[in-house]
Structure formats: C-alpha cells, structure tokens
Amino acid sequence: MASNSQSAGSTPGSDSTIAIKVSFELNTPDGLRRVQFGLEKDFTGTDIIWKIHFQLWERSVRTATYVDPIVSLDVQVNPQLNQRAQQATSGLTPAQTAHATGPAADAAKAAKQGELPVEVANDQIQGTLQQN
C-alpha cells in the first residue's frame, strides 16, 4: 500500500521501532493468583515512555479457570524509573516478583474496591520496579 504511494525520487529507508512490549506472567506456585506485569517501551518521536500494564487474576481453587482479570491497570512509569524499567525487561528479581504478586496486586484490588486511594495503588505498582 505505502509503496504504491511512494513519490518519485523517494527511496525506502530502514524500519523504526515504535514499541516493544515484554509481558511477564507470574503464576504463584499455589496456582491461585496470576499477575501479568507488562513493560512497554514506546518511542514517540524522540521521547521514550515506559508503561506498566498490570493485570490480576484470582481463583479459589487450582482446578477453576481464570476468566477475566479482576484488576487491569495501566501506569505510566515515572521517568526517574526508566533505567529500572529497562533492567526489568531482562527479568524480574525475587523482590520484584514478590512485590508484584503481593503488595502491588493487593493494592490494585483494594483501589478498585475503593479501599485505598488510586495514587497509593499506582505507587505500589510502580514500586515493583524500585525493588532490588
């Protein structure tokens, strides 16, 4: 399509990445909670924006099927944590996975139920990246 609209004299150039998304799916060993921790790196012109896509599923028994996520949150990463986000694409540390499946998931759930301010929940979710 685009090649048909190529103007006379123009030459095709190289590709340009506009986004890379790495999704870490964390299943607790007891099989009752699943957290999907997605790290997305967007290239908007010369700006680089990192986003966390956080989703939580729960079930009462291992044999049940996970249906829809009970929480689904998108958080734009504080630019001060960009380096941490970059490092996390190579895998989450034990402290980060513990935080994502525990405090971050609990906070996201509580915020959805109105039991915790959303900014506190977002802080907890971003806090995943701050863990060592």
Partner 1 sequence: MERLLFRRWSGLPLSLIAAASLCAQTPNQPIVAVEGCGQGINFETGHYQIGTATITDPFDFLYWIRGKASTTQTQLAALLNNKPFTYQLAISDAISLIEQQRFLPDNAVGFRASVIFAAATNCHQNPNTLDLKYQIYSTVPPKILSATPESQVQARQSPQDTAGLTQGGSAFHFTPAGGYNAAERWYGGGNLQVTKRIAAFPLFDTLSAEGRGSSTMREINLALAGSAEPLGPIEHMDWRLNYLQADNPADTSELRRTLLSGQYSAATRPFAGGNLTARFGASIEGGNLHSNFPTAQLAVNTVPGAEYGALRFYGGLASRLSHNVFSASYGLELGSIGPAQQIDWRKHIVDVVDDFWIPLRPHYQLDVDARFTAGKIQVPGSIPATERFFGGNQETFFVPGDSWQIRASPYIRAIPANRFQFTSQGAGAQSFASANLTIAAPVKAWPLVPTVVEREAGPLLDGQITSATSVLQNHYAMSSPGFQQVLQLLEPLQNALTALRTALTSVQADVPAPTFTNCNNKLLGANFNLTMARRKMAAPKRDDTLYGSALAPLSDIPQVVTACVDQLIPQGATAPGFQQIRDSVAQADRLRGQMKQLSDAIQPAAAARAADETRFVRRTINTLLRDMNVLSIGPVAVFDVAHIGPTGPGIDGMRYGPGGGLRLSIASMVTFTSGYAWNINRQPGEGPGAVFFEIGIRDLFH
Query: Which of residues 103 and 112 has its CB atom nearest to partner 1 in the complex?
Result: 103
Q: What dihedral angle (degrees, nearest 10) is formed by the CA atoms of 67, 68, 73, 74?
A: 100
The CA-based diameter of the chain, rounded to the nearest angstrom, is 64
Q: Are 75 and 51 in contact (CB under 8 A)?
A: yes
Least separation, in Å, of the C-beta of 90 and partner 1?
A: 5
Query: Which of residues 34 and 75 has its CB atom nearest to partner 1 in the complex?
Result: 34
Angle at 30 between CA 100 and CA 109, to 5 degrees: 40
Least separation, in Å, of the C-beta of 47 and partner 1?
A: 6
Distance CA 52, CA 36 (A): 10
Least separation, in Å, of the C-beta of 114 and partner 1?
A: 13
126 forms beta bridges with none
Residue located via tokens 């999704």: 23
Distance CA 21, CA 50 (A): 10
Least separation, in Å, of the C-beta of 60 and partner 1?
A: 11
